[in-house]
Structure 1
Amino acid sequence: MHALIVIAHPEPLSLTHAVAARIGEGLVSANPANTFELADLTAQRFDPCFSKADLAVHHRLSVPPADVAAEQARIDRADALVLVFPVYWWSMPALLKGWIDRVFSNGWAFDFRPEAPLVKKLRHLRVHLVGIGGADADTYTRHGYSAAMKTQIDHGIFDYCGAEVVSSHLLLDSETAEPAITLQAGENVGRKLFETSATTA
């Protein structure tokens, strides 16, 4: 089984990058036949700006630009998509949101035409979300942030395309807890990545 692990963080030495690497290590240790690819959106200088060219794709007036088509091909090769990101203002960073805006396009991720019912085209895709937040669990619960993130990301993005969010993790207290705790949690995500039962934390 093969996983595409997408990272959105500007610092290569960040906890986010380290967690992504541990997820990869975990999935290989669970089964040496498993493979993974790390997609560092900052390092590859992915352009997150939704342009006129992207709008033309949405309206089916053009094919996806080369950078978008390359990302779609990466996802098509994967059995699982893992998004690893720091929580910025109770959501994902703009870079990752822009990647989704452009890559999950009409005609590839879903099929929308005003005269026909919506077709969800990513029903085969299994998604794992790993958000890394600085606040504690009580803060997320008290203000409803966890539920809000699930609504906008799990449901608003992936359910619209038919993709199954198999696991959705918030690794919290990242600025105060021992990094080893967060890294071990990342490795555990990797070990369970291709288990049949869904886990949500």
Structure 2
Amino acid sequence: MHALIVVAHPNPGSLTHALARRVAEGISEANPLHTVEFADLAAEQFDPRFTSGDIGAHLRQMTAPDDVAAEQARLDRTDALVLVYPVYWWSMPALLKGWIERVFANGWAYDDADGKLVKKLQHLPVHLVASAGADQRTYARHGYFGAMKTQIDHGIFDYCGARVVTSELLIQPDAPDLNALLDTVQRIGRKVFDTPREESAAKAA
């Protein structure tokens, strides 16, 4: 089984990158034969801007831009997708949002034609790992976590049919130390392939 871990943070020494590495360790611990690929969007200089080429691809007037097609091919060979990111302004960073907007395109992630939606990513289990700087009381008081689940879990992935298996919000201020957060994501990594791709597709169908 092959996992793609997408990281959206410009600093390779950040907690976000450390969390991604520990997820990978957990995946390897569960089965050394599992493979892990990292998509470091900042290091790879992925362009998150939605351009006229993306609009043309959305309207089926032209093929997807080369960088988008490369990301879609990377996802096509993936059995589980893991997104690791910090919470910026109660959502994901613009770099990651732009990656989703461009890559999860009409005709590939979903098919919106003649008023009928076809969800095309029912085979893909998704694991979301977000690192939060505010405490749990702040998220609960303002309903931020529920809002994030609505816009990300449901608004993005459910729209494409991808099943969100894990939606973890790591609350930094409430953790006894950062090791506790790292241990949490390592446990998540061990369970990434608890539901095989075939079973996930069958349930979605």
State TM-score, norm by structure 1: 0.94
Give the unaligned 5+ runs of structure 2: 201-205
Other-structure match for 1:161 = 160
Q: Aligned residue for 1:186?
A: 185
Identity of aligned residues (%): 62
Distance 2:69 2:176 in 1: 39
The question of 1:102 aligning with 2:110 is answered: no
What's the counterpart of residue 32 of structure 2? 32
Residue 174 of structure 1, CA deviation: 5.5
SS at match of 1:188: helix
Which TM-score applies when normalising by structure 2? 0.92
For residues 48-127 of structure 1, what are the structure 2 equivalents within 5 Å? 48-113=48-113, 115-127=114-126
Distance 1:15 1:5 in 2: 15
Task: Supply the AA of the counterpart residue of 2:136.
Answer: A
Displacement, 1:196?
Answer: 2.8
Letter in 2 for 1:84: V
Which secondary structure state, in structure 2, belongs to the residue aligned with residue 89 of structure 1?
coil
Distance 2:187 2:175 in 1: 20
Q: 1: CA distance between counterparts of 2:132 and 2:64?
A: 33
Partners of 2:173 and 2:55 in 1: how far apart? 37
Residues 57, 64 of structure 1: 8 Å contact kept: yes
Name 1:46's counterpart in structure 2. 46
- The SS at the match of 1:12 is coil
* Structure 1 position 111, deviation (Å): 0.5
Write out per-residue CA displacement over residues 125-149 of structure 1, whole angstroms, 9 at most, x where no aligned residue.
Answer: 1000000001112211111111000
1:134 matches 2:137: no
Give the superposition deviation at 1:175.
9.1
In structure 2, how many angstroms separate the alpha carbons of the residues matched to 1:22 and 1:38?
A: 12
Q: CA RMSD in A?
A: 1.6
User: For structure 1, which segment, 88-97 or 29-38, has the greater mean C-alpha deviation from structure 2 after superposition?
Assistant: 29-38
CA separation in 1, counterparts of 2:62 and 2:41? 24
Structure 2 Cα separation of the partners of residues 78 and 175 of structure 1: 34
Task: Extract unaligned runs of 5+ from structure 1.
Answer: none
**Match of 1:3?**
3
Distance 2:147 2:174 in 1: 22
Distance 1:131 1:193 in 2: 16
What are the superposed Cα offsets for residues 61-117 of structure 1, whole Å, 9 maximum, x if unpaired? 01111100110011111100000000001100000000000000000000012x241
Per-residue Cα deviation, 1:32-85 (whole angstroms, up to 9, x for no partner): 111110110000000000000000000000111110011001111110000000
The residue matched to 1:95 in structure 2 has which SS? helix
Q: Structure 1 counterpart of 2:112, which letter?
A: F
Distance across 2 between alignment mates of 1:176 and 1:24: 21
Give the length in aligned residue pairs: 197
Partner of residue 203, structure 2: none
Structure 2 Cα separation of the partners of residues 3 and 18 of structure 1: 17
Q: In the alignment, is the contact (CA less than 8 A) between 2:19 and 2:182 conserved in 1?
A: yes
Classify 1:51/1:143 alpha carbon distance in 2 versus 1 (closer, same or farther; 3 Å). Answer: same
